[in-house]
Amino acid sequence: MNIQHTPLPLAGQKVHRIDFTPQTFTETDLLWLPHHRKLSHAGKKRKAEHLAGRIAAFYALGEHGLTHIPDIGDNRQPLWPVGWHGGISHCGSTAIAVVSQKAVGIDLEEIFSASVCDDVAAEIINANERETLAASVLPFPLALTLAFSAKESLYKALSSFATPLPGFHSAEIIAIDAQHLTLEVKKPFCEDFAGQRYQVAWQQQGQRVITLLAETFQLA
């Protein structure tokens, strides 16, 4: 499969981006994965995305001297080396990955169209959040996409503490600017974390956005 690797600095971390050409994927490409048999029943699209994500993760781990390809866990999560945390995300023909020795979550999304915003806004944000996004200098479709993506990154970073399927209203966007969003955790996400605030960094890449939450960005 044809790929292009690009390292991207974001919030003190290095994100590894893989752009791939799905049409060039072949079944033999999958043999590079030690766990390739677990994907035997997946469709071609899923296989290509998974492979690209694991290549991104391989680069991310390699940056720290680790030669490891994350296996698939019981809940379909990537299995990282002991002492390491990481995240993988896909969108279209792009995959990204990041690793850290602290909790980390990352997400990649296509910027919503105006019609998609109309359909999904109420599921992602409440009335207070809508006011926060509207007061920013960002176009509403970009701001809403960032709200969605930032909450995804939060859930990924703290999934081991979250209640099952906490929902998008279990965290609230309380601030947004040209580089960060600030989220406050609510009780439905995790009672022990309720009231804690986290800063999520973001970056626009063409018609896509990347959001990244590292544990070090917990706010007082």
Write the pLDDT tens digit of every residue in 40-73.
999 999 999 999 999 999 999 999 999 999 999 9
Distance CA 95, CA 134 (A): 30
Question: Per-residue pLDDT tens for 102-138?
Answer: 999 999 999 999 999 999 999 999 999 999 999 999 9
Domains in the chain: ranges and CATH: 3-101 (3.90.470), 107-219 (3.90.470)
Our measurement of the distance from residue 93's CA atom to the centroid of its chain's CA atoms, rounded to an integer in Å, reads 15
Cα 142 to Cα 207: distance, rounded to the nearest angstrom: 9
pLDDT at 185 over 60: yes
CA distances (Å), origin 149, targets 21, 145, 155, 156: 24, 6, 10, 11
Per-residue confidence (pLDDT) for residue 24, from 0 to 100: 98
Average the pLDDT over 143-151 and give the result. Answer: 98
Element (H, E) at 17: strand 13-20
